[in-house]
Structure 1
């Protein structure tokens, strides 16, 4: 089983963007940047780390795309989706036990 990446705020934002995407409408790099509210210099290294761990698969756009470069699509693998959900749930459980609210303050 692949190791769990450090769940930094940017990593969590990227995972949430990937979880929100679907196979019918997979996420591409700049859409993840937009949805996670992060720059490409943050998002692409995170995607690379998630890919190295087997959490994410990617592929190039093959359909016609006039007027713009081909997109690179990203999707959580089956194992990646499961591991991401488990890691995010465990993080939320730890935060709840510590009494941390959504804004990170004491409830």
Structure 2
């Protein structure tokens, strides 16, 4: 399994996925808009998360004339735990760096 690099865009996508609910899961372009990132950034991140087993996908079932069906993304149980732990670890590292730099955490 490949390790996930916690870049700012990856963290933004993870935070959106963590804050989503089962009855209102995000889809690709909604993640792009909410994270203020382009599809060329978001979709590769989602693909990596799916490869790691952190997210599952499902295709929208209801037909919507004029656009293709949406692909919904949901964190798996393990993905939610990994994402939460990764975000917490990143936050702790940043607080530690701020303390070393003489700032406040």
TM-score by length of 2: 0.89
- Counterparts of 1:17-28 in structure 2, within 5 Å, are 17-28=16-27
Query: Could you tell me which residue of structure 1 aligns to residue 48 of structure 2?
Result: 49
Any idea what SS the aligned residue of 2:98 has? Answer: coil
Query: Could you tell me which residue of structure 1 aligns to residue 86 of structure 2?
Result: 87
Q: What residue ranges of structure 1 are gaps of 5+ in the alignment? A: 101-105
* Moved >4 Å (runs of 4+): none
Structure 1 residue 3: Cα displacement: 5.0
CA distance in 2: counterparts of 1:30 and 1:42, whole angstroms: 11
Contact 1:4 1:87 in 2 (8 A): no
Alignment deviations for residues 39-74 of structure 1 (CA, whole Å, 9 cap, x no partner)? 000000000001000001111111232332110111
**Structure richer in helix, relative to its length:** 2
CA distance in 2: counterparts of 1:49 and 1:28, whole angstroms: 16
The root-mean-square deviation of aligned C-alpha atoms, in Å, is 1.4
Q: What residue ranges of structure 2 are gaps of 5+ in the alignment? A: none
